[in-house]
Amino acid sequence: MRLTTENQENSRVLLHIELEADEMERALDDSYKRLARRVQVPGFRRGKVPRDILERFLGKETLLKEAEELAVTQFYNRAIEEQHIEAIAQPKIEVLHNEPLAFRATVPVRPDVDPGDYKHVRLKQEEVTVGEAEVEKALEQLRLQQAPWEPAERPVAPGDLVTIDVQGTLDQKSVLDEKGLQYPVFQGSPMPVPGFAEKLQGLEKGTETAFAITMPQDYKNPQLAGQTIEFKVKVEEIKQKRLPELDDEFARSLGGGFDNLPQLKERLLSNLKARAEAEAMTRYEEQVVQTVTSLAKLDVPEVLVDREIDAMLNEQVSRFRGGQKSLEAYLAAIGKTDEEIRQEARPHARHRVVRALVLDKIAQVEDIKVSPEEVQAEIDGLAQQAGERADQLRRAFQSHQSRHSVEHAILTRKTVRRLAEIASAVADQTPAAESPPA
């Protein structure tokens, strides 16, 4: 095989491959054997027809075409292995001639990434404070969670739970018909449509009323956008929450080993501080990553952006109504074409690709590694969270591809942590440590 390589712009490598005469002859012989096993020639058993007869039966062009397909795959793979080329997508193949075979392969490859002077990035971390007001708010949330519902002898107010009979029509066609519906009245609730909860406020038990709601033009369901829905509602029951007294007895009723209210407050303060610090660190790490990626220089292969768009669309479709819809159904529901949604997703997809490429490069420069033990610990942690689905999840992570995904996620996390250490000026010369998941 004669092979030449040429680096091209936009992260591509051009391979020029030409087979020697004996290599071409072997390719022809291999193609003859494959065809002989597949083609039934009258008077011969499968696999037993002589090559010259098979060639006359099918035509020489068929034999050459089969040999070409075999040889292109075989010698392309051999070429990228010899040249240590990491292809990120299928190559574009152009056959120049086939006796002997010569072809060009344009191979998309990972781009060279210059991470810039990330080691001198310095960003100040925000100070986290949690005070009495936050603790009191958390206590009120606990009271609401523990409060039982009881009948309310007054008009509907925000926070109530009402039992209603409701009918909704659009152009005299029913779009909603429920009896005995238990409906939580929350200000700004989008269910069943925006503005419905507000229409119930002030109504008394036994009240029957009718009202119309015009949907916004940008409503998520294009079939309802800008349309006016007529509602008829009867209020059957109104319930409110009876808040428990905030005392030592309330603290003990929660479990958790609390003897009195001060102990509960102390635990809440500790938890709120830990959560606030974790959220602040997440914001800080993202700020650091954005700053670092803005310093990097690289050409982004469009094939990677297109692949990321595919992944993003798959994520959106899987979240849409429990993943029960196809991409076509999803596009119809949101009123957009495939081209429109892909164009909208392109800037974010490009950002995600750049972020991943830069972090991978920095992980390489910083010599950040992930051990098999860390991968297993991560899977064990996920399985523990999965509960009854633990065995199913463990089986899903038995494949090399799945474990590699976990490994890369850990690598990214460790790299982001390393960058945060550098930016906060507390970095040392050792790779970022990774703690096993809780």
Q: Tell me: the pLDDT tens digits for 15-63?
A: 999 988 888 778 777 766 777 677 777 777 777 777 777 677 777 777 7
Domains in the chain, CATH or no CATH each: 2-108 (3.30.70.1050), 149-241 (3.10.50.40), 273-423 (1.10.3120.10)
Residue 356's nearest CA partner among 113, 117, 121, 86 is 113
Higher pLDDT, 225 or 152: 152
| pLDDT above 80: residue 131 | yes
pLDDT of residue 347: 95
Biggest CA-to-CA distance, the chain: 98
Question: What residues contact residue 271 under an 8 Å CB cut-off, 6+ apart?
Answer: none
Least confident of 166-180, 264-278, 384-398: 384-398
Q: Which residues contact 386 (CB under 8 A, 6 or more apart)?
A: 392, 393
Q: What pLDDT was estimated at residue 256?
A: 86
High-pLDDT (> 70) share of the chain, %: 94
| Angle at 117 (CA atoms; ends 115, 118), nearest 5 degrees | 75
Alpha helices (runs of H) in 366-399, residue ranges in sequence order = 372-386, 390-396
pLDDT higher than 90, residue 165: yes
Mean pLDDT of 72-85: 91
Is residue 258 scored above 50 in pLDDT?
A: yes
**Is there a contact between 19 and 102 (Cβ–Cβ < 8 Å)?**
yes
Runs of H (alpha helix) within 206-365: 248-253, 261-295, 302-319, 327-334, 338-365
* Gap between the Cα atoms of 368 and 374, Å rounded: 13
Of these ranges, 59-73, 97-111, 271-285, 300-314, the one predicted with the greatest mean pLDDT is 271-285
How much is the pTM?
A: 0.71
Tell whether the model's pLDDT for residue 435 goes beyond 90.
no
Higher pLDDT, 332 or 431: 332
Q: How far apart are CA 362 and CA 419, in angstroms?
A: 9
Assess whether pLDDT exceeds 90 at residue 425. Answer: no
CB 213 within 8 A of CB 228: yes
The model's confidence at residue 422, banded by pLDDT at 50, 70 and 90, is: very high
Answer yes or no: are the C-beta atoms of 397 and 406 closer than 8 Å. Answer: yes
Report in angstroms the alpha-carbon separations of 222 from 67, 138, 331, 335, 357.
53, 39, 11, 6, 37
Helix (H), strand (E) at residue 405: helix 400-423
Q: Which two tokens stand for residue 127?
A: 């100070």
- Residue 426, pLDDT score: 63
- The yes-or-no verdict on residue 172 having pLDDT over 80 is yes
pLDDT band per the 50, 70, 90 thresholds, residue 74: confident
The DSSP symbol for 37 reads H
**Residue 225 · residue 214 · CB < 8 Å:** no
Backbone angles phi, psi at 240, to 5 degrees: -130, 160
Look at residue 221 in the predicted model and tell me its pLDDT.
78
CA 74 distance to own-chain centroid: 35
| Nearest partner of 302 among 12, 7, 2, judged by Cα | 12
Asked if residues 280 and 336 have their Cβ atoms less than 8 Å apart, the reply is no
Phi-psi region of 43 (alpha: psi -120 to 50; beta: other; left: phi over 0): left
Is the confidence at residue 308, as pLDDT, over 60? yes
| Higher pLDDT among residues 63 and 166, named by residue | 166
pLDDT band for position 406 (50/70/90)?
Answer: very high
The residue that leads in pLDDT, 169 or 332, is 169
Residue 98 has pLDDT above 80, yes or no: no
Query: What is the mean predicted confidence (pLDDT) over 375-391?
Result: 91
Question: Where do the DSSP E strands lie in 112-224?
Answer: 149-151, 161-170, 173-184, 208-214
Label residue 138 by pLDDT band (50, 70, 90).
Answer: very high
- Output the average pLDDT for the chain: 88
- In this structure, what token pair is assigned to residue 52? 């010259």
Split at pLDDT 50, 70, 90, the class of 437 is very low
Range of lowest pLDDT (97-101, 160-164, 353-357): 97-101
306: pLDDT strictly greater than 90: yes
What pLDDT, on a 0 to 100 scale, did the predictor assign at position 69?
83
Q: Which residue type, as a one-letter code, is found at position 172? A: Q
Contacts of 258 (CB under 8 A, 6+ apart): 251, 252, 264, 267
Distance of CA 42 to the CA centre of its chain: 55
| Whether 301 contacts 11, CB under 8 Å | yes
